[in-house]
């Protein structure tokens, strides 16, 4: 993080604002366990309604004699997916992404097959009410499977009606899913069908807390034009027609699209504290029936969250990738991702691509950085005059002291607000990178030095105990980043003017506390982010030393300030506004004081 030499009051305010934002982000993303407990202890009534809707109290288990040995399976496969279908419920019982591997906690390597669906973690079906009011759930039906080329057809009969699920494996991680019924109108009268999906997402990445945070509902509506997500609360979109619904994880997503949309959509989610699953999702939505027959087309997508791939569908899938809102997302989509890809195209490793990305960012910001450090030098030069003003007005009205200080700045030609710009620029850059590193699939599984995966933390130093907010390990990249920020703080805080008013906090102490909070924040974050900020702050140290000893001559700056003082100054709009505000405040204060004195005399 970049700070100024001789920070003025406005710069200190911007720094404190930035620090508060960082601390807020740390507690938001690190303190998940406390939030989970709070949600469990005070469950929303809507959640209970959703859960009861997703699990009907009256269900017709039409195949009570089904045994595991009687369940048949059939398979389809291409270069991207391996699929297994079960005769029980006619469902997808296994989905493997061939080109990716899942993280194995036992070996600390990404060497396991990557399953989005496996071991009954996903269960879906359609619910109908028959004429007696009982619920027919296709999850309970036994289907007869058959395979023809890349199409699997599963057929079931119930009381004279036929239900058929037709799955066709397509390119680009796509499975066409058609539902056809015949004779169902003889059993069903209300013309409604509910699609119910219960899904426990598997732990696929190294950082469990980080992946759990990124696991959420996602969905599109308004004819694919609008997108929304829900990561913590109940899903309640009863007033919208959803074009598709997805359950997103850190790098992958399972999505079902309804050609005629889902209506009356509700859902719930519940974090899972430990084990191979992260969260339990439940969804319930209605689909259209015509003449009490369900003949609808759906599509399943089992997607790696690769931005070019997501864009290629033209269904607003690219919004699933959480690159940040508004300007933050634009910065990632149009700068960081393209620039990283360009640098990586030269064949260098991911870690060195991040290194050169950091260099490029620093070069782009270098004119602003130079002005910032020049302002710092100017602040150092006029420090004796500021000290004189503070000494002269130490017993006077603080408003007068502030006016006299601003007059010194004005005569010297120092723009106090100029130092705020670099700090403000760092906020969108930080949040863009905070979204970029843990969500950019091209970095997934890429190692660099002692970090085995730049999208997860490095944990070479393992602790025999767990420290709150820090975890059971120490990240070397996080420690290195904290160290360079601390060194940079020591270089920039030495000339900081301390507050003279009683009760004001010591800003030097706060600035030294800031790097320590950064350690807690980065220790469980993506190591790529820590590496970027290590390089960035190391460059900051080099820049400040070069500018201080080889570029800026404080004697020349002093001469320039004296020349500025000799020239008549035109008061700027901001300075005029500030002066008028202070004068008005001072006049109000004097009037109030005079009124108090008159009231005291009357008594």
User: Residue 260 maps to which CATH number?
Assistant: 2.70.98.90
25, 53: one domain: no
Sheet holding 73-77, edge to edge: 73-77, 81-86, 92-104, 109-117
Cα 171 to Cα 165: distance, rounded to the nearest angstrom: 19
20, 101: one domain: no
**Closest by Cα among 303, 292, 317, 294 to 125:** 294
In a domain, 599, yes or no: no
Least confident of 3-7, 79-83, 179-183, 458-462: 3-7
Last residue of a domain, one of 273, 307, 322: 322
Rounded to an integer, the average pLDDT of 281-310 is 93
In a domain, 383, yes or no: yes
311, 372: one domain: no
58, 13: one domain: no
Cα 589 to Cα 492: distance, rounded to the nearest angstrom: 37
CA distances from 432 to 331, 357, 392 (A): 7, 14, 46
Residue with tokens 């002066």: 579
Range with the largest mean pLDDT of 183-192, 337-346, 367-376, 581-590: 337-346
103, 15: one domain: no
Last residue of a domain, one of 322, 338, 357: 322
Question: Domain range spanning residue 141?
Answer: 32-322
In a domain, 182, yes or no: yes
In a domain, 588, yes or no: no
Least confident of 34-48, 217-231, 257-271, 360-374: 34-48
423, 507: one domain: yes
197, 82: one domain: yes
Last residue of a domain, one of 294, 322, 350: 322
307, 248: one domain: yes
Quick check: 198 pLDDT over 90?
A: yes
Q: What is the pTM of this model?
A: 0.75
365, 308: one domain: no
381, 294: one domain: no
In a domain, 62, yes or no: yes
User: Is residue 439 within 8 Å of residue 305, measured between CB atoms?
Assistant: yes
* Token duo for residue 481: 């980043």
Quick check: 368 pLDDT over 80?
A: no
270, 373: one domain: no
In a domain, 210, yes or no: yes
In a domain, 69, yes or no: yes
Kind and range of the H or E run holding 175? strand 174-182
The tally of domains found in the chain comes to 2
Tell me: the pLDDT tens digits for 476-494? 898 998 889 888 887 776 5
Least confident of 180-189, 197-206, 418-427, 448-457: 418-427
Name 434's Cβ contacts closer than 8 Å, sequence gap at least 6. Answer: 25, 525, 529
Rounded to an integer, the average pLDDT of 293-311 is 94
Of the pLDDT bands very low, low, confident and very high (cuts 50, 70, 90), residue 553 is low
């Amino acid at each position: 993080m970049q700070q100024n030499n001789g920070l003025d009051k406005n710069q200190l305010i911007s720094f404190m604002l930035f620090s508060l934002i960082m601390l807020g982000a740390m507690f938001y993303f690190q303190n998940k366990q406390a939030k989970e407990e709070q949600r469990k202890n005070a469950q929303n009534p809507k959640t209970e309604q959703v859960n009861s809707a997703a699990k009907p109290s009256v269900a017709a288990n039409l195949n009570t004699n089904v045994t595991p040995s009687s369940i048949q399976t059939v398979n389809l496969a291409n270069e991207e997916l391996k699929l297994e279908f079960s005769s029980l419920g006619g469902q997808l019982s296994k989905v493997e992404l061939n080109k990716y591997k899942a993280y194995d906690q036992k070996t600390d390597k990404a060497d396991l097959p990557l399953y989005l669906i496996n071991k009954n973690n996903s269960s879906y079906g359609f619910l109908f009410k028959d004429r007696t009011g009982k619920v027919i759930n296709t999850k309970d039906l036994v289907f007869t499977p058959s395979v023809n080329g890349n199409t699997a057809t599963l057929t079931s009969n119930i009381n004279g009606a036929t239900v058929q699920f037709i799955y066709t494996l397509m390119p680009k991680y796509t499975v066409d899913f058609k539902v056809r019924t015949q004779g169902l109108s003889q059993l069903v009268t209300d013309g409604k069908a509910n699609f119910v999906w219960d899904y426990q997402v598997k732990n696929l990445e190294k950082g469990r807390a980080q992946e759990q945070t990124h696991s959420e509902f996602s969905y599109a509506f308004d004819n694919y034009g609008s997108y929304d997500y829900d990561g913590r609360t109940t899903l309640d979109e009863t007033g919208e027609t959803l074009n598709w619904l997805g359950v997103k994880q850190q790098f992958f997503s399972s999505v079902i699209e309804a050609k005629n949309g889902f209506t009356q959509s509700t859902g719930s989610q519940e974090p899972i504290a430990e084990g191979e699953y992260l969260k339990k999702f439940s969804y319930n939505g209605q689909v259209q029936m015509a003449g009490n027959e369900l003949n609808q087309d759906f599509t399943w997508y089992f997607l790696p969250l690769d931005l070019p791939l997501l864009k290629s569908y033209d269904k607003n899938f690219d919004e699933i990738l959480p690159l940040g809102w508004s300007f933050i997302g634009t910065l990632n989509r149009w700068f960081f991702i393209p620039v990283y890809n360009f640098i990586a195209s030269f064949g260098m490793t991911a870690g060195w691509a991040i290194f050169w990305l950091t260099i490029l960012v620093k070069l782009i910001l270098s004119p602003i950085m130079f002005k910032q450090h020049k302002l710092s030098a100017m602040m150092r030069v006029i420090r004796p005059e500021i000290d004189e003003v503070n000494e002269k007005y130490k017993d006077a009205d603080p408003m007068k002291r502030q006016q006299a200080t601003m007059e010194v700045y004005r005569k010297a030609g120092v723009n106090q607000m100029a130092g705020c710009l670099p700090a403000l620029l760092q906020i969108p850059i930080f949040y863009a990178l905070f979204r970029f590193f843990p969500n950019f699939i091209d970095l997934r599984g890429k190692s660099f030095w002692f970090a085995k995966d730049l999208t997860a933390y490095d944990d070479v130093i393992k602790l025999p105990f767990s420290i709150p907010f820090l975890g059971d390990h120490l990240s070397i990249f996080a420690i290195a980043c904290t160290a360079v920020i601390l060194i940079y703080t020591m270089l920039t805080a030495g000339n900081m003017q301390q507050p003279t008013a009683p009760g004001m906090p010591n800003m030097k102490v706060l600035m030294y506390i800031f790097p320590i909070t950064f350690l807690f924040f980065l220790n469980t974050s993506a190591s790529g982010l820590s590496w970027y900020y290590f390089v960035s702050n190391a460059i900051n140290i080099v820049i400040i030393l070069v500018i201080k000893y080889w570029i800026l001559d404080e004697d020349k700056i002093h001469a320039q300030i004296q020349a500025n003082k000799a020239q008549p100054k035109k008061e700027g709009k901001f300075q005029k506004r500030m002066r008028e505000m202070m004068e008005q405040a001072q006049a109000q204060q004097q009037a109030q004081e005079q009124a108090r004195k008159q009231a005291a005399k009357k008594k």
